[in-house]
A and B are shown apart, each in its own frame.
Chain A
Amino acid sequence: MALLQSINPLLSAGWQRDAHEWRLENDTGWHLKDYEARGGYQSLRKILAAKMSPDDVIAEVKKSVLRGRGGAGFPTGLKWSFMPKAAPEKYIVCNTDEGEPGTFKDRDIQRFDPHAVIEGMIIAAYAVGAGRGYNYIHGEIYELYQRFEQALDEARAAGLIGQNILGSGLNFELFAHQGWGAYICGEETGLLESIEGKKGQPRYKPPFPANVGLYGKPTTINNTETFASIPYILRDGGDAFLNLGKPNNGGTKLFSVSGHVNRPGNFEVPMGTPFPKLLEMAGGMRGGRKLKAVIPGGSSAPVLPADIIMDCTLDYDSIAKAGSMFGSGAVIVMDETVCMVQALERLSWFYYEESCGQCTPCREGTGWLYKVIHRIEHGLGRPEDLDLLSDVSTNIMGRTICALGDAAALPVLSFTKHFRSEFEYHIEHKKCLVPRDVQKAGSTFHTRLMAGTAC
């Protein structure tokens, strides 16, 4: 999937625009020379040449109000400032374990701009005093793991990583670590466990990674898009980045739009852009059908009905006020052909599959949620099931080591709140409020089959 709207010259300007060109071998523009032609590595060179102090780098990032792009939205500069200064061994880790359903921005960053990630990580290493870094890459994008390794080779050959970077005395080694299919490793401490060669089961926090991280050493871990936003901030200034967005929500953001739109894809828009504008960029609703609901921040974010989301702007504050989460900027669009019970069943199956099994409320609770939703969807629901779902959900929330438990519960609570009548209809009538043939009309695959292209 290609980027369909670009603003930041150092992040997305070189991305191809053909939405249907998915073959990686045809990609151009991701190599070191291309990135440098776009202004890449100028920020790093500037910092090193001017001997800008690490504290000044952190201050600039703080000024930009860049917030963690992986989903939690924690201020990046503040996170960097938590790193202890005196520790002799420190790490920088990039989280490219992008598996939150609906999110596909980091894949495109790795595809078209791996050097923006590398430059961001080197600058971060300089700012916090880390000597070594790892980029943990989602198992399902092995071809892009290979590309990242190629990009690392290019950077190494150009003296941008390794010993005495650009003659400045700075040392930083950077490597790629390949994941292999575990959603939970997107959780930062699960990811660190995974790099250590273990099951990716999250750790208790505190201690936070800034104090006890990879191999027990202080570690700064940020999302791919966060690191890729750093070069612009250091080149054009924190204020310039902040002003691209709005107060408390600095910069631009990549939004991944999937589902029932005419042009699914990634769109870089300023924070605070009205939702209808993004929907319009994505080509509007597929087949001109009516918008029913949107999950605004990845599958773990509470669903919002059409009338609520249409009044939102795309930033942390507006989405939170509407009762959902900005999350990773993954916008899942659903039209009137969607059966909300079936949609929730798919999500609940995912969380049940991906619970790491460490905490009882999540391990057992996600199984209960899936089984109850499954029976409602299949005409075996009982009148007391909606109360049961709410009971199980609230008993998971806040009682687990990491956020996966909450992530499993929030969709259940929001779907049954906003679309309660559909669940009640399912239970009472043993079938869906949305007729099957209407549901099928929503799938492009099905409509193409019916058009006689194959089968």
Chain B
Amino acid sequence: MMLSEATLKKIDREVAKYPADQKQSAVMAALIFAQDEKGWLAHETIASVAQYLDMPEMAVFEVASFYNMYDLHPVGKYKLTVCTNLPCALSGGVHAADYLKKKLGIDFNETTPDGKFTLKEGECMGACGDAPVMLVNNKHMRCFMAPEEIDLLLEECK
């Protein structure tokens, strides 16, 4: 399961940020791009990253399993991560998650039967003043997620 040329090019750009003998510093970014391409990080994908960066597979797996925005299992087309930490909870974070669970008919760490949505419980996203806050596919943050905003978001996710 090799990575595409486009992904490798992005990884090369990251490698160039670090001293010549510190290629493995690009591993976090490489895994992000690999996850973008493949949807999640299968063992073979992790092995491809390891090979490309001249790292032991285990060292790459350690990184992939340590940081919690990497997906080591398949996820739905849209992964929604809701912050339920205390500051968010005071402004409805937990209730926003409950609302989503009810609407999607799934619990945290579950995917809808049509493979469209996965729901995750997130930890502090550093946006407590904008609660309720959620991430769409790791990279896009949505703020002030009142019920009608959540409805709108779900409609946008085609």
Are the CB atoms of B67 and A104 closer together than 8 Å? no
Given that A178-B28, A180-B70 are known contacts, is A140 also in contact with B99, CB under 8 Å in the complex? no
CB-CB < 8 A to A338: which residues of B? 90
Are the CB atoms of B148 and A453 closer together than 8 Å? yes
Shortest Cβ distance from A88 into chain B, in angstroms?
13
Given that A99-B123, A448-B147 are known contacts, is A260 also in contact with B90, CB under 8 Å in the complex? yes
Partner of B132, one of A132, A134, A256, A445: A445
Are the CB atoms of A443 and B126 closer together than 8 Å? no
Q: Is B144 at the interface (CB under 8 A from chain A)?
A: yes
CB-CB < 8 A to B125: which residues of A? 99, 138, 140-141
Q: Is B101 at the interface (CB under 8 A from chain A)?
A: no
CB-CB < 8 A to B99: which residues of A? 445, 449, 454-455
Are the CB atoms of B129 and A265 closer together than 8 Å? yes
Q: Is A354 at the interface (CB under 8 A from chain B)?
A: yes
Q: How many residues of B contact A (CB 8 A)?
A: 59
What 1/0 flags go to A426-455 for Cβ under 8 Å of B?
A: 000000000000000011111011000111
Shortest Cβ distance from B69 into chain A, in angstroms?
4
In Å, the complex CA distance between A333 and B92 comes to 14
Partner of A142, one of B24, B91, B139, B143: B139
Shortest Cβ distance from B126 into chain A, in angstroms?
4
Stretch at the interface among B1-9, B72-80, B81-89, B105-113: B81-89
Partner of B85, one of A22, A350, A454: A350
Given that A178-B32, A182-B68, A448-B146 are known contacts, is A346 also in contact with B141, CB under 8 Å in the complex? no
B residues sitting closer than 8 Å to A (CB atoms) are: 17-19, 22, 24-29, 31-32, 53, 55, 59, 62-63, 66-70, 84-87, 89-96, 99, 122-132, 135, 138-144, 146-148, 150-151
A residues sitting closer than 8 Å to B (CB atoms) are: 1, 20, 22, 98-104, 106-107, 132, 134, 138-143, 175, 177-183, 194-200, 215, 256-260, 264-266, 299, 330, 332-334, 338, 343, 346-347, 350, 353-354, 356, 442-446, 448-449, 453-455
Q: A104-B127, A140-B138 are in contact. List 20 more A-B contacts (CB 8 A).
A: A102-B124, A102-B128, A107-B127, A178-B29, A179-B67, A180-B32, A181-B67, A196-B24, A197-B24, A215-B22, A258-B91, A264-B130, A333-B90, A347-B86, A350-B86, A443-B95, A445-B92, A445-B93, A445-B146, A454-B147
